[in-house]
């Protein structure tokens, strides 16, 4: 017996298929799409169009439907279950993606939406290709109850299985609250869009009820907050279009998986290009700062770099560059902020970046100009011991080629922390301006010559005289080079040349660690 949807001929069936598809492709309808645009946001399909090379997107599971009947959901159609999933090409390379569609029930995540996301995540893992999630959702679909929570559980599980195996990128392009913020946090890179996105564990109403604090969504978890204060967000972008473009740029530095070759970008830059400007970048006065980013840009192919976390823990720089087309991860102190000192946030920022690079076989290049670890109760109570140890662990565990260049100060524990030889650096170089010591001259003399200084007629003059002797001994790279702790002292202008040849020489490096389940990094 014919039903309302039944058709007889093949051409009718094909027409019926077309009309069903057309309905689903309209998403939440014209009015909802208009609302989305009014908020300055693109729809999920528009975002995917920008992400993928033209006409390469292949949609997966368009016809999925929810099966909940609770709280009026039985009568509610949610086209494509509020998420568009599939795969396509980004600059010719295959990438998998899920984009939540806020125009359909606020992109809320129920059992079947979750299953669609699981499906493309499983495909990305099987295919060993990157996974990109564009989030724009009111969170767990309230009417469904526990199946929605179960859905998130399955996403977190897959995020974790995929960690270190395929690159995972999340862009939060709308509200994200509750447990829904944990999928982004489990991925490698988090993008946010200024003014239209926020992320928080509990929203302003709950906060007011529980602890009496009044705060707006923006002040609590907006893009600027998470890119300057918490470090949750790596890239805070001005709008959806910029956000997607930056995701494409990031992908250009990443391999498809930990078992895939690095993407090599053809370049006209030369491996033996000299960088004469670097010979004069270090100020004569040791306390004067300079811009470490100039050094990084000078040595990079075409003077290009991509800097995650540019606004958080600014005393530490992490960045991707290319040397002769090959991606390289750079870790560098930034003397412009807090003299480049190592603190809790800087250590966390560097450690996470080092582990990402190591997981995906991206060589590491470290530039050191560091006065030490930041002293004081605030840092001690915040656990600088554990956080600083994280960085030591990350460097020691990393088996990718590791090059270190000491450009100026390299003091104390921070000298070790910035990938010293004994943390497994393959080659450590120093500029003639390098100073490598347990601590600065004045502080050192106050300790080792306390009595002589106290007993001297002119304590200040005595301290100065002793400090000069100390400086002559340690405030140069020659003592360390004499012991082989520094492999080479190089002219700043030769830095790119040296790095290019060393990376080429170390290309086949392979190191194995002790057989075990996994390391226990201090978290």
State the nearest-atom distance from the C-beta of 489 to ligand HXC, in Å: 54
Considering the complex, state which of residue 100 and residue 168 has its C-beta at the smaller distance from ligand HXC.
Answer: 100
Q: Which of 171, 332, 346, 414 is catalytic?
A: 414
> What letters, b where the CB count within 10 A reaches 16 and e where it falls short, cover 313-333?
bbbbbbbbbbbbebbbbbbbb
Say which of 164, 178, 383, 443 is annotated catalytic: 178
Tokens coding 515: 């057989």
Structure tokens at 499: 């790095």
Task: Identify the active-site residue in 154, 413, 424, 443.
Answer: 413
Q: Which two tokens stand for residue 423?
A: 């943390």
* Span between the terminal Cα atoms of the chain, in Å: 64
140 vs 326, which CB is nearer to ligand HXC?
Answer: 140
Whole-angstrom CA distances from 42 to 150, 170, 239, 240, 270 are: 29, 16, 9, 7, 41
- What is the closest distance, in whole angstroms, from the C-beta atom of residue 183 to ligand HXC in the complex? 9
Cα-to-chain-centroid distance, residue 390: 16
Tokens found for residue 47: 């975002």
Strands 402-411 and 364-370: parallel
Give yes or no for a contact between 174 and 102, defined as CB atoms under 8 angstroms apart: yes
The residue with tokens 């195996």 is 165
Cβ 236 to ligand HXC shortest distance, Å: 20
Give the 3-state secondary structure of residue 99: strand
For 260, the token pair is: 């895939």
> Which residues is 172 bridged to in the sheet?
135, 192
Report whether 174 contacts 107 (CB < 8 A).
yes
Rounded to a whole number of angstroms, the minimum distance from the CB of residue 102 to ligand HXC is: 7
Closest separation between CB of residue 137 and ligand HXC, Å? 7
Cβ 116 to ligand HXC shortest distance, Å:
16
> Looking at beta carbons only, is 203 or 271 nearer to ligand HXC?
203
CA distance 23 to 6: 17
Rounded to 5 degrees, φ, ψ at 257 are -155, 180
Q: Which residue number, 196 or 366, has a Cβ lying nearer to ligand HXC?
A: 196
Q: What whole-number distance in Å separates Cα of residue 436 and Cα of residue 433? A: 10
Q: ∠ CA(94), CA(307), CA(86), 5° rounding?
A: 20
Collapsed DSSP state (helix, strand, coil) of residue 433: coil
- Closer to ligand HXC by CB, 149 or 265: give it: 149
The DSSP bridge pattern shows strands 488-489 and 427-430 to be parallel
Closest listed residue to residue 360, CA positions, set 262, 278, 266: 262
When the beta carbons of 48 and 177 are compared against ligand HXC, the nearer one is 177
151 is known as an active-site residue = no
| Burial annotation 365-377 (CB, 10 A radius, 16+ → b, else e) | bbbbbbbbbbeee
Which of these, 398, 93, 116, lies nearest to 260 by C-alpha position?
Answer: 93
Q: What minimum distance in Å lies between the beta carbon of 242 and ligand HXC?
A: 22
The CB-of-115 to ligand HXC minimum distance in angstroms stands at 15
Which is closer to ligand HXC, CB of 32 or CB of 341? 32
Strands 83-90 and 93-100, bridge-based pairing: antiparallel
Question: Is 178 one of the annotated active-site residues of the chain?
Answer: yes
Determine the angle formed by the axes of helices 111-127 and 146-162, rounding to 10 degrees.
Answer: 10
Residue 106 or 255 with smaller CB distance to ligand HXC: 106
Q: How far is the CB of 30 from ligand HXC (least distance, A)?
A: 14
Element (H, E) at 97: strand 93-100
Site residues (vs ligand HXC, CB under 6 A): 105-106, 108, 138-143, 149, 152, 175, 177-180
| Residue from 145, 179, 203, 231 carrying the catalytic annotation | 179
CB atoms within 10 A of CB 4: 4
Catalytic residue at 413? yes
Q: Is the Cβ of residue 154 or residue 443 nearer to ligand HXC in the bound state? A: 154
Helices (H), 54-110: none
Nearer to ligand HXC, 179 or 263 (CB): 179
In the complex, minimum distance from the CB of residue 105 to ligand HXC, in angstroms, rounded to a whole number:
5
Catalytic positions are 178-179, 413-414
């Amino acid at each position: 017996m014919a039903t309302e949807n039944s058709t007889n001929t093949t051409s009718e069936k094909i027409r019926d298929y077309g009309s069903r598809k057309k309905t689903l492709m309209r998403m939440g309808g014209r009015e909802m799409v208009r609302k989305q645009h009014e908020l300055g946001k693109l729809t999920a399909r528009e975002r995917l169009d920008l992400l993928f090379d033209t006409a390469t997107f292949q949609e997966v599971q368009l016809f999925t439907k929810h099966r909940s009947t609770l709280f009026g959901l039985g009568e509610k159609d949610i086209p494509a279950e509020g998420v568009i999933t599939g795969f396509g090409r980004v600059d010719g390379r295959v990438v998998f993606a899920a984009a939540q569609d806020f125009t359909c029930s606020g992109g809320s995540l129920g059992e079947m939406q979750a299953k669609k996301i699981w499906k493309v995540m499983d495909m990305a893992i099987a295919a060993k290709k990157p996974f990109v999630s564009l989030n724009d959702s009111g969170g767990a679909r309230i009417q469904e109850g526990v199946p929605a929570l179960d859905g998130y559980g399955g996403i977190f599980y897959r995020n974790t299985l995929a960690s270190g195996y395929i690159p995972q990128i999340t862009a939060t392009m709308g509200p994200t609250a509750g447990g829904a913020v944990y999928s982004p946090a489990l991925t490698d890179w988090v993008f946010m869009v200024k003014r239209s996105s926020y992320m928080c564990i509990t929203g302003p109403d709950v906060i007011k009820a529980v602890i009496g604090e009044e705060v707006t969504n923006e002040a609590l978890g907006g893009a600027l907050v998470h890119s300057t204060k918490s470090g949750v967000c790596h890239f805070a972008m001005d709008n959806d279009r910029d956000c997607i473009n930056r995701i494409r740029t990031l992908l250009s530095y990443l391999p498809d998986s930990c078992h895939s070759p690095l993407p090599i970008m053809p370049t006209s830059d030369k491996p033996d290009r000299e960088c004469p400007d670097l010979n004069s970048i270090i100020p004569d006065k040791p306390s004067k700062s300079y811009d470490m980013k100039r050094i990084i840009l000078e040595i990079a192919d075409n003077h290009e770099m991509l800097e995650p976390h540019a606004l958080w823990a600014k005393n530490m720089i992490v960045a991707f560059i290319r040397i002769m087309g090959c991606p390289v991860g750079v870790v560098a102190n930034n003397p412009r902020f807090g003299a480049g000192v190592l603190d809790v946030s800087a250590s966390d920022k560097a450690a996470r970046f080092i582990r990402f690079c190591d997981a995906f076989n991206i060589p590491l290049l470290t530039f050191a100009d560091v006065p030490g670890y930041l002293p004081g109760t605030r840092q001690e109570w915040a656990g600088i011991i554990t956080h600083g140890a994280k960085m030591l662990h990350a460097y020691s565990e990393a088996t990718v080629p590791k090059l270190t260049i000491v450009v100026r100060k390299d003091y104390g524990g921070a000298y070790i922390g910035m990938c010293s030889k004994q943390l497994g650096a393959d080659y450590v170089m120093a500029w003639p301006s390098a100073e490598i010591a347990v601590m600065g001259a004045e502080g050192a003399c106050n300790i080792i010559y306390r009595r002589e200084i106290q007993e001297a007629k002119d304590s200040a003059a005595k301290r100065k005289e002793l400090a000069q002797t100390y400086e002559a001994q340690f405030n140069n790279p020659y003592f360390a080079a004499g012991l082989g702790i520094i492999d080479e002292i190089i002219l700043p202008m030769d830095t790119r040349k040296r790095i290019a040849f060393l990376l080429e020489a170390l290309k086949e490096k392979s190191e194995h660690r002790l057989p075990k389940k996994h390391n226990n990094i201090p978290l």
